[in-house]
Amino acid sequence: MSRASRQVIGTGVVIGALAFTLVALLIPVQKFGGKNAATAAAAASAKAPAADDDGAGTLSTAFGPLSPQDRDFVRKVRLAGLWELPAGRQAQQRGTRPAVRTAGEHLVEGHTELDRRVLEVGEALGIDLPDRPSDQQQGWLGQLDRAQGAEYERLFVQLLRRAHGKVFALVAQIRAQTRNSMVRKLATDANTTVLDHISVLEASGLVDFDGLADAAPTPTPSPSQVPRPTK
């Protein structure tokens, strides 16, 4: 065999080996980076709180694009204050445990400031905001009005803890995804407020964590079967 032939064969072997190596490298990338990543993304999306679409699409603003999810978040922050502010004031007055009165105080302080911020954001971005609690939120306030004594305190803590737990996931989602700087700042403020409220509610010692699960039994006045609010 001539020297030239040996060089051609040697070059072919090298190219073949490189090609085989490249295929071997691409297979795990395709398997783990493609299919599994897509599955993980789908799972994360399935767990994300659903947003109400107002049908206006994504709007251009001086603070960046404003998506339907952004507007829904701003409205939900406003709605939260509309029922949690009166619930907090009531807990300050009716709570017999210092921890419950403290939780009420934090609710009032936190949502007073957050409500001021959300009104500013709504005006700056041209978002129409609700001016009264939803029917479901009015129902929760009605339950608190009717409850008495220790039952009232358990109901207050469980209703508010579940509500804040639900909105915590929404705040994180919006904070991570929004392209609007005003909405991002509001989400940052809301994150701080919600985490503070979760902490003081849990400090009461009245949270029934089993009752927070989505598979919990139908609500009743007992501490493990209270209604499960979402924001």
Query: What's the pLDDT tens digit per position in 166-209?
Result: 999 999 999 999 999 999 999 999 999 999 999 999 999 999 99
pLDDT above 50: residue 105: yes
CA dist 188 and 183 (Å) reads 9
Which of 65 and 227 is assigned the larger pLDDT?
65
DSSP 8-class letter at 35:
I
Looking at residue 49, what is its pLDDT?
54
Mean pLDDT, range 54-77, rounded to an integer: 96
Contact of 166 with 49, CB cutoff 8 Å: yes
Pair 140, 83: CB distance under 8 Å: yes
214 or 221, greater pLDDT? 214
Please report, rounded to a whole number, the percentage of residues in the chain having pLDDT higher than 90. Answer: 66
Cα–Cα distance measured from residue 134 to residue 230, given in angstroms and rounded to the nearest whole number = 11
The Cα–Cα gap between 214 and 218 comes to 10
- pLDDT at residue 118 is higher than 70: yes
Q: What is the pLDDT of residue 145?
A: 97
22 versus 129: the higher-pLDDT residue is 129
Taking alpha carbons only, the member of 21, 41, 103, 74 closest to residue 183 is: 74
Residue 66's beta-bridge partner residues? 59
Q: How confident is the model at residue 229 (pLDDT cuts 50, 70, 90)?
A: low
pTM: 0.71
What digits encode the pLDDT tens for the residues 139-171? 999 999 999 999 999 999 999 999 999 999 999
Please tell me the predicted confidence (pLDDT) of residue 50. 67
How does residue 102 score in pLDDT terms, banded at 50, 70 and 90?
very high
Instruction: Tell me which residue has tokens 């009015």.
Output: 138
